[in-house]
Amino acid sequence: MKRRLAAAVVPPPSAMPPVAASPAALAYAAEARVGGLVRALGALTTDDERRRFLIDLCTPAELEAIADRWAVVPELAAGRAYRDIHDRTGVSVTTIGRVARCLALGAGGYRVAAERLGHLAPEAGFAAPSADDAH
């Protein structure tokens, strides 16, 4: 008499418990993805290529939000008040404040781009905003 082996029952992936990754592993993976995005942007050589890439990469709302943030940079560099920038661009005062903080205290990306496009003098001082500046 032959014995029959029971087939192993493997639950579908959706029924499997999630594997918990450490915060360090998640941060490393996120940084690697950002690095890939940076390399992709660097591979594009024309404004048309970059525009098409952004259109494919972002939803219309995401692209609008990014464009709004960038539109604020030359306004801040020109020394305009937050409320004037809001009136000129329609961008919220809160977003304007966040961009101003990044210009003053961020990683330097806005500053490099603004300098290269002539919106901001190299090494020009840009003070961090105060609560009074928003009004």
Q: What is the pLDDT of residues 5-33, one digit of tens each?
A: 555 565 566 665 666 778 888 888 888 99
Q: What is the pLDDT of residues 28-68, one digit of tens each?
A: 888 899 999 999 999 999 999 999 999 999 999 999 999 99
With contact defined as beta carbons under 8 Å apart, do 126 and 72 qualify?
no
pLDDT at 103 over 70: yes
Half-sphere exposure of 84 (CA within 13 A, CB side): 8
CA distance 10 to 59: 38
CA distance 74 to 126: 12
For residue 27, the model assigns a pLDDT of 86
N- to C-terminal Cα separation, the chain? 89
Picking from 72, 83, 92, 66, the residue whose alpha carbon sits closest to that of residue 133 is: 83
